[in-house]
Amino acid sequence: MTSTLPLEDTSTRVVRAACAHDCPDACAMLVTVENEVVTGVRGDPEHPFTQGGLCAKVNDLEKHVYHKDRVLHPLRRVGPKGSGQFERISWDEAVAEICSRFSSIVDEYGAEAIMPTSYLGNEGILNGLNVMDPFMHRLGATITERTFCTSTRGSAYVRTMGPAVTDPESIVHARYIIAWGHNMLTSNLHLWPFVAKARKRGAKLVVIDPYASRTARRADWHIRIRPGTDGALALGMINVIIAEGLVDTEYVDNHTVGFSELAARAADFPPERVEELTGIPADDIRTLAREYATTQPAVIRVGTAVENHPQGGQAFRAIFSLPALVGAWRYPGGGTHELSLFGFPVNFDRLSRVDLIKPGTRVVNGMQLGRVLTGEVELDPPIKALMVCNSNPVITYPEQNKTIAGLKRDDLFTVVSDHFITDTARFADIVLPATTITEHFDVNFSWGHLYIAINNQAIKPVGEAVSNVELFRRLAAGMGFDDDPWFTLSDEEMAEQSLDWSAPQLAGISLEGLKKTGWARLALPGPDEAPYADGGFPTVDGRVALAVHDDFDSVAPVFRQGYTEMQGDRPSPSVPDYVEQPVDDRYPLRMITPRGHHFISSQYANMDRQLRGEGGQHVTLHPDDAAGRGLSAGDRAEVFNERGCIPVEVLLDEGVMPGVAVVPYGFWTDGASSVSALISGDANDLGRGPRYSAATVEIRIASA
């Protein structure tokens, strides 16, 4: 299935593009170009998932492209670190300076003194996750693990079901939909019409969230949960399902392993105990379990927030056990529709050029960037150069105060490639201008649907911006790495190598064809099918693993990100467990950090319209928690813990679970601290994921 929309070709043209944000919707986009200027963007009306609309972030992308603050040429720092004072330099000067600094650091300290960090500012297959890897591996730089998002969820998912793929569009058939820690209307907007269709046919939408998110406000039932206790809720549901005889025994017998062990664990989680742990009334837990088990097809759609806790991995393992217990996989629409990216035959190892990794190269975790740069994590050799691309560590990594202290080091050479002088780029020695999606070519997968898309280049780069791929071609030439053909591949040659075009999912799809049609559907089971109705999961034995007896060191290659096994996870119990976490009396509020409706992580938080849409940095509290602290709506206050203190405006909402502080992330610091200053860089229990929603805090009226 592909688009047939006719395109004009005059001085006004429409270019088939694809949004490369780290967003499950991966929209197919039509970019209007008039006299070589982007004048508008819209969603492709023929794309079955995009359905003609984009979103509150991207609707006026042209303003982002031509924003007055865009970095248009390479810059060299002239003031103190962080002062934001730069001078213009040429690309030749920038490349020469970077290569000479890198070379002298390699000579003096060894290549591991250079550290790359990148994430998903751009998710394109060419310009995204792996774009720095070949250059850095060839150099021999320290390897930076990128477990910021979905490493935990993905590891739990794969250990339970293998890389199973269903079509998220099949949710139209569901009769019971649980959005579990997932604010669909903000972060997966294009799934909403499918949910709306299911609801029109009588489906019930239940949202499990500590506060009344946009989606919770539109749900049939909002269940408020104490953050980080989802594992207990899932085990409580399993307890009820077993106790009330609602298990699909035939499905469990034929298509799962480990039921009796899971049942023994769940016996420790009767609803009354789970009420104490989660704050959800025991009768609601019973009702939820009964309705979920008996209203088939039932689907659970999770978000990432559940992983952002010390036991995020266990929680996801317990949640992912549920569909098999009630036989939800039997029906089109039933089960869970996550991580469709497993359906895309991307050659991640090739893109990353894992073959270039020098054996024994050390690996550090990106979440601990601040600890590494400040020497709290002692490294020999220490990090002497940092290169950042597709990422904004000051805002999106934990322990902001340490990150900033590290970036201030005069003996650290920092290079940042970005569109803007972000809070991270402010500390750079060299800033490099990056193209936006309108200015380069790419191919996109999706983690929320089954359409591959092409991003045709719509306009020439603005100013002297270059794509990430071109940036590393230039640096590779500067370092003399271009004896390896990878570093001179054209974008399209790289695209040919980046996917396994002969894979059955891509039958009938070619790069040439995609350039014309914009997008195409993978040849995988469709929305009216139930691919696991008779089991056959892509696990070792074809069964859902309710219990696992090997260790947890290996996860799907995409989460290994090409270079390393996930070693060092804490030993995982064979069946998921939940252990209550102590809360520090000095900081009794549990802080969650949902994302902005008008931002994508930290992007667009510098745009007027989007910022107006979010307001400034705020905290939303239950009125009782505010009253107990003498706080009123509109007060200027400070949210703090042992790690930091951030200025906020107080908002009140009865829909927030008492004891919870809702502090959205993404806002730029404006010279103060922001939410990541309060968050620990410790890893959680699986896939070495983050703890973004696990900080506890206190709040007081602002001193000045």
Ligand X SMILES: Nc1nc2c(c(=O)[nH]1)N[C@H]1C(S)=C(S)[C@@H](COP(=O)(O)OP(=O)(O)OC[C@H]3O[C@@H](n4cnc5c(=O)[nH]c(N)nc54)[C@H](O)[C@@H]3O)O[C@H]1N2
Beta strands in 483-626 (DSSP E): 519-521, 544-545, 589-592, 618-621
Say which amino acid occupies 698.
Answer: E
Where is 636: in which H helix or E strand? strand 636-640
User: Binds 256, which of ligand SF4, Mo ion, ligand X, none (CB < 5 to 8 A, cut-off by type)?
Assistant: none
Nearer to ligand X, 61 or 208 (CB): 208
Nearer to Mo ion, 446 or 517 (CB): 446
Task: Kindly tell me which residue out of 15, 30, 31, 54 binds ligand SF4, with binding defined by CB under 6 A.
Answer: 54
Q: Name the residue whose CB lies closest to Mo ion.
A: 149
Closest distance between ligand X and the C-beta of residue 607, in Å? Answer: 11
113 binds ligand SF4 (CB under 6 A): no
Closest distance between ligand SF4 and the C-beta of residue 695, in Å? Answer: 27
Nearer to ligand X, 237 or 434 (CB): 434
User: Binds 211, which of ligand SF4, ligand X, Mo ion, none (CB < 5 to 8 A, cut-off by type)?
Assistant: ligand X
Nearer to ligand X, 60 or 261 (CB): 60
4-43 residues near ligand SF4, rule: CB under 6 A: 19, 21, 23, 25-27
Name the site residues for ligand X (rule: CB under 6 A). 22-23, 57, 119-122, 127, 148-149, 180-183, 186-187, 208-211, 213, 225, 227-228, 230, 303-306, 309, 389-392, 396, 417-420, 422, 434, 468, 592-597, 599-603, 665-666, 675-676, 679, 692-693
Residue span binding Mo ion (CB under 5 A) among the ranges 37-45, 142-150, 347-355, 626-634: 142-150
Strand order in the sheet with 430-433: 86-88, 75-77, 430-433, 413-418, 385-389, 114-118
In this structure, the strands spanning 12-18 and 28-34 are antiparallel
Residue span binding Mo ion (CB under 5 A) among the ranges 23-31, 143-151, 237-245, 363-371: 143-151
**Which one, of 25, 60, 21, lies nearest residue 613 by Cα?**
60
Closest distance between ligand SF4 and the C-beta of residue 61, in Å? Answer: 8
Tokens of 424: 């991270």
If phi > 0 it is left, if psi is from -120 to 50 it is alpha, else beta; for residue 382 that is beta
Q: Which x/- pattern, by CB under 6 A, does the window 575-614 give for ligand SF4?
A: -------------------------x--------------
Task: Kindly tell me which residue out of 58, 285, 315, 465 binds ligand SF4, with binding defined by CB under 6 A.
Answer: 58
What is the SS3 assignment for 422? coil
Closest distance between Mo ion and the C-beta of residue 304, in Å? Answer: 5
How far is Cα 116 from Cα 124, in angstroms, rounded to an integer?
18
**Which one, of 648, 588, 587, 593, lies nearest residue 213 by Cα?**
593
User: Binds 251, which of ligand SF4, ligand X, Mo ion, none (CB < 5 to 8 A, cut-off by type)?
Assistant: none
Nearer to ligand X, 247 or 675 (CB): 675
Nearer to ligand X, 117 or 142 (CB): 117
How far is Cα 200 from Cα 204, in angstroms, rounded to an integer?
9
Nearer to ligand X, 56 or 524 (CB): 56
Give every CB contact of residue 301 below 8 A, 6+ residues apart in sequence: 168, 171, 177, 178, 179, 180, 182, 184, 188, 191, 336, 337, 338
Nearer to Mo ion, 486 or 559 (CB): 559
In order, the DSSP letters of 197-238 are HHHHTT-EEEEE-SS--HHHHTSSEEE---TT-HHHHHHHHH
User: Binds 210, which of Mo ion, ligand X, ligand SF4, none (CB < 5 to 8 A, cut-off by type)?
Assistant: ligand X
User: Binds 389, which of Mo ion, ligand X, ligand SF4, none (CB < 5 to 8 A, cut-off by type)?
Assistant: ligand X
User: Binds 186, which of ligand X, ligand SF4, Mo ion, none (CB < 5 to 8 A, cut-off by type)?
Assistant: ligand X
Say which amino acid occupies 67.
Answer: H
Nearer to ligand SF4, 57 or 643 (CB): 57
Nearer to ligand X, 547 or 661 (CB): 661
Closest distance between Mo ion and the C-beta of residue 119, in Å? Answer: 8
Judged by CB under 6 A, the number of residues near ligand SF4 is 12
Residue pair 698/589 in contact by the 8 Å Cβ criterion = yes
Helix 271-278 × helix 230-243 angle, to 10°: 170
Q: Does the bond joining 381 to the residue before it have cis omega, within 30 degrees of 0?
A: yes
How far is Cα 27 from Cα 25, in angstroms, rounded to an integer?
5
Torsion sign, CA atoms 91, 93, 97, 99: positive
Q: Which x/- pattern, by CB under 6 A, does the window 173-192 give for ligand SF4?
A: ----------------x---
Q: Which x/- pattern, by CB under 5 A, does the window 149-168 give for Mo ion?
A: x-------------------
Closest distance between ligand SF4 and the C-beta of residue 451, in Å? Answer: 11
How far is Cα 684 from Cα 701, in angstroms, rounded to an integer?
32
HSE-up of residue 55 (Cα within 13 Å, Cβ side) = 27
Nearer to ligand X, 164 or 592 (CB): 592
Closest distance between ligand X and the C-beta of residue 36, in Å? Answer: 20
What is the SS3 assignment for 597? coil
**Which one, of 673, 682, 685, lies nearest residue 641 by Cα?**
673
Nearer to ligand SF4, 19 or 235 (CB): 19
How buried is 523 (Cβ within 10 angstroms: 0-12 exposed, 13-18 middle, 19+ buried)? middle
Nearer to Mo ion, 305 or 452 (CB): 305
CA distance to 82, 330, 425, per residue, from 671 (Å): 10, 54, 13
Closest distance between Mo ion and the C-beta of residue 692, in Å? Answer: 10
Closest distance between ligand SF4 and the C-beta of residue 477, in Å? Answer: 33
Cα-based angle 306, 310, 312 (whole degrees, multiple of 5): 30
In order, the DSSP letters of 508-521 are T--HHHHHHHSEEE
How far is Cα 495 from Cα 347, in angstroms, rounded to an integer?
10
Closest distance between ligand SF4 and the C-beta of residue 157, in Å? Answer: 21
Which residues would be at the binding site for ligand SF4 (CB under 6 A)?
Answer: 19, 21, 23, 25-27, 54-55, 57-58, 189, 600
Binding site for Mo ion (CB under 5 A): 149
